[in-house]
Structure 1
Amino acid sequence: MSPCPDEFLEVVVMGAVLALHSSSDVLGVGVRWLPGSGPVEASSALRAFPLGRGLSNQLLSCIEQLLPADQWPQLTRLAVATGPGGFTGTRLTVVLARTLAQQLQVPLDGVSSFLLAARRLGIQEPTWLVQELPRRGVVAGLYGPAGTDGALTELELPRLFGPGTAVPPGAQLPATALLPDDVEQLLELSLLAHAQGLAAPWQPVLPLYPTSPVAGL
């Protein structure tokens, strides 16, 4: 049985934010309707689809369960998790988000999947989020409060620490994605940017790949 049933959510959307997260083997989709739009009984919808390698074939149909394609022109902002994550999964959602943002001429927020996990975990002090890669080492990024408001931020971007290279001293937590919880974090960040009127051009939003396919050549 397909993890994406055929029935669609029937709503009339006048303005919405769409968020996509596929940095693991689970696709997370979130829609938040802006005030004065969407279904009366709910302002948001979140779903997680355990697609694995089926992402390329089922990505669009899963999104349409929350927001049918004929309503995509009503989007006012998009957000996408940029990784680190699998090459194919992350690339597909980033490319789709970039294409929609370009065609609809709306802002696109790209956010590291590690930062989303850090927000969900409620990190209060500088902490390394770590993801093990078999035979390659670990990918780690540093997260913690910064600035006068103490908002959680990315102190050091995720990067590869090869075999035999230690992550710098400090607290560590596994950078495990949890969906749809992390896509909810993505929606919240995008809505905050929307409320602040922040520009978010689609061109700089690219997948984050700490490992290189040409390393060692």
Structure 2
Amino acid sequence: MLGLALHTASPDLGLALKSFEDQTSAVSREQVWGLGRDLSTQMQLKLMEFIQPYRWTDLAFLAVAQGPGGFTGTRLGVVTARTLAQQLQIPLYGISTLAAVALARSAAGPGDIAVQMPARRGDLFGAIYRRTALGDLETVIADTIYPAADWLAKLAAWDRPLQTIETVTGEGLGDTAMALLDQAYSQWQQGQRPAWSAVLPFYGQHPVTD
């Protein structure tokens, strides 16, 4: 059973492919390209090359970074994933960019995980997660945009051990594509089978007016 993840919410294109349940022919690979503005012209070619020697019909589910992140890249990734899932008639899991960072970059140990990302006008995107006994994440505070002072005050008042992970403007996050896939598979195991139409990009702020 193969899952494929697409991460286009940063200047990187990150792809991950992994087999689940059938360990006799285990597959686990990921690749990152720093495409920047070339993402729109290069993504489809990179995607077709990456899945070889498998076919689209070998995929059991898809996962995509639904934001927050760059407006154009996030939209392109979500639209591509929605189109593939619709045509293949397979579940599509929209996973928060911040959740993928939390899962991929947090250190092992007790406590909660706070992830923050720069937004426009000095604001911050912030979310807080907690690892479950299975090693995946549950959301404590979902992705929200905060004035920087409000977010820092929330962290300072947190009443549990808290690990904070910061991303910076323009940072590539394609290396968290495998985390997207693992979080999606956790939802699969819980019986969730989201339709492609349920996955929408999360921008947080309007790219022009905010």
After alignment, is 22-31 or 120-129 more displaced? 120-129
For residues 69 and 104 of structure 1, what CA distance do their matches in structure 2 show? 17
**Whole-Å separation in 1 of the counterparts to 2:186 and 2:132:** 17
**Is the Cα–Cα contact under 8 Å of residues 128 and 139 in structure 2 kept in the other structure?**
yes
Corresponding residue number in structure 2 for 1:47: 31
> Partner of 1:208 in structure 2?
202
The CA deviation string for residues 140-165 of structure 1, in whole angstroms up to 9 with x for no partner, is 22213278879532222222224x75
- Report the counterpart of residue 96 of structure 1 in structure 2: 80
Match of 1:169 among 154, 157, 166: 154
Q: Distance between the aligned counterparts of 2:119 and 2:176, measured in 1? A: 21
CA distance in 2, matches of 1:148, 1:185: 16
Pick aligned residue for 1:152 from 134, 137, 155:
137
Taking only aligned residues, the RMSD between alpha carbons, in angstroms, comes to 2.9
Aligned counterparts of 1:125 and 1:48: Cα–Cα separation in 2 = 30
Deviation, structure 1 residue 200: 1.4
1:166, distance to aligned residue in structure 2 (A): 2.5
The answer (yes or no) to whether the contact 1:131–1:140 under 8 Å persists in 2 is yes
For residue 184 of structure 2, give the secondary structure of its aligned residue in structure 1: helix
- Richer in helix (by share): 2
Instruction: Verify the 8 A CA contact 1:141 1:154 in the aligned structure 2.
Output: no
Gaps of 5+ in 2: 156-161
From 6, 9, 15, the equivalent of 1:23 is 9
Change (3 A) 1:122 1:58: same
Letter in 1 for 2:138: T
Distance 1:153 1:212, change over 3 A: same
Aligned residue in 2 for 1:59: 43
**Cα distance, 1:72 vs structure 2:** 1.1
* Counterpart in the other structure of 2:191: 197
SS of the residue aligned with 2:69? Answer: coil
Q: Distance in 2 between matches of 1:157 and 1:76?
A: 27
Q: Is the 8 A contact 2:126 2:145 kept in 1?
A: no
1:149-188 CA-to-partner distances (Å, cap 9, x unmatched) read 79532222222224x7531321543036665541111111
AA partner of residue 122 (structure 2): G
Distance 1:83 1:140 in 2: 10
Cα distance, 1:214 vs. partner? 6.2
For residues 102 and 160 of structure 1, the distance between their equivalents in structure 2, rounded to whole angstroms, comes to 31
- Rounded to whole Å, the distance in 1 between the matches of 2:2 and 2:135 is 29
Taking only the aligned residue pairs, the percentage that are identical comes to 33
For 2:90 and 2:3, the matched residues in 1 are separated by 10
What is the identity, as a one-letter code, of the residue corresponding to 1:154? T
Q: 2: CA distance between counterparts of 1:22 and 1:155?
A: 25
Question: 1:109 corresponds to which residue?
Answer: 93
For residue 56 of structure 2, the aligned residue among 72, 87, 90 is: 72
Distance 2:54 2:126 in 1: 39
Q: Does 1:33 align with 2:19?
A: yes
Residue 198 of structure 1, CA deviation:
2.1
